[in-house]
Amino acid sequence: MSSEPRPLHVLTRLAGVTALAGALVAGASAAAVAAPTASPARASAASAPAAASGEATRPPRTTHGPCAYTETPEEPAARPVPLPPDPRRTPDRGTVRVQLWTNQGPIGLTLDREAAPCTVQSFLHLVRKRFYDGTPCHRLTAYPTLSVLQCGDPSGTGEGGPGYRYRDELPTDLPPAPTDPTGVRRLYARGVLAMANAGPDTNGSQFFLVYADSALRPNYTIFGEVDAAGLATLDRIAAGGVAPTAEDPAPVDGAPALPVEIRKAIRLHHHH
C-alpha cells in the first residue's frame, strides 16, 4: 500500500550500487518507520586514491573502548571527521543539552547518557567537530503512523554519514503502539530523539525527531528528547508539509516543503 511508510533505514552503498535498505520490503513489515539513512553516495571518488595506494587493504580502524566506533571505508564520511573518543569508561549518568539553531527556529535537545551512552558520546563528538553545522534536514514524513523529521546528513541525499558506525543501544521499555494490533510496533512518542540506521549496529550521524506519536519496530536507538520550543519549530515545519514532486503532487514522505537547515549545533553548559 502506498500509505505504508518505508522502513526508517539509512541509504547505503553496496558494491557501488546505491540501495535503500529495506525499501524493497513490501506489505506489513514496511510499516516500520523508514529510518534516516546515512551512507555517502559520493564514495567512489573519495575511495579511489586509497585503493591506489594500497590503503584499502588494511582492516577498518576501531576504537579500543567499550563503544568500538568502527571506520566504514566503503562509506566514507560526507564531511571529514575523526573517530569519536572512546574512553575505558563511557559516561552514562545525567543529561546533556544541545541546541540546534535552524533557519526555521530553535530545536533544543536533552541527551540521555544513561539510555544510550555510546550514542550520546558520538553525537556530542559530531557537535564539537561542527559536523552538523550548515546541514539540511532532508526528510519529512507525514504518515498517520510515522511523523518524523530526519537530519544529520551533510550531503542532503539520505546517504551521508560520518565515516564510522557503532552498535545499537535499543530501548526495551517502550509501550506497544496503540495503532498496531499485532503488538510488534512500539510507541515512539512525540518529542523522541532517535538514531536512523541501515540495519543492526549501523548508527552513524543521521537522526530523527518525532513530532507526533509514531509506531515503529523498536530497532532505533532513543537517546534524548526535544524541548517545547523545538516541538513548536517541528510543528511549523510539519505544517508546511512535504515538498511536491513531478511524480507525486501530494507526497507524505520526502523533502520538507519548508527547507530546514541546521545552521549551528552547540552543546549548552549549565552551571548549577
pLDDT at site 10: 67
From the list 108, 102, 100, 126, the residue with the least C-alpha distance to 204 is 126
In this predicted model, what pLDDT tens digit does every residue of 82-106 receive, in sequence order? 999 999 999 999 999 999 999 999 9
The count of residues in the chain is 272
214 vs 270: which has the higher pLDDT: 214
pLDDT at site 183: 87
Q: What contacts 254, CB < 8 A, 6 or more positions away? A: 139, 140, 242, 243, 245, 248
In this predicted model, what pLDDT tens digit does every residue of 142-177 receive, in sequence order? 999 999 999 999 999 999 999 999 999 999 999 999
In this predicted model, what pLDDT tens digit does every residue of 199-246 receive, in sequence order? 999 999 999 999 999 999 999 999 999 999 999 999 999 999 999 999
pLDDT at site 104: 98
pLDDT at site 211: 98
Q: What is the pTM of this model?
A: 0.84
pLDDT at site 17: 31
Residues 83, 70: Cα–Cα separation, whole Å: 8
Query: What is the average per-residue pLDDT within 191-202?
Result: 97
2 vs 137: which has the higher pLDDT: 137
Contact 132, 158 (CB under 8 A): no
pLDDT at site 12: 53
* pLDDT exceeds 70 at position 118: yes
Query: Architecture of domain 11-43+61-268 in CATH?
Result: Beta Barrel (2.40)
pLDDT at site 4: 57
In this predicted model, what pLDDT tens digit does every residue of 31-69 receive, in sequence order? 334 444 443 333 333 333 444 445 557 899 999 999 999
Query: What is the average per-residue pLDDT within 243-252?
Result: 95
DSSP helix/strand/coil, 99: strand
pLDDT at site 5: 66
Query: What is the average per-residue pLDDT within 114-124?
Result: 98
pLDDT at site 51: 45
For residue 179, the 8-state DSSP code is T
pLDDT at site 56: 55
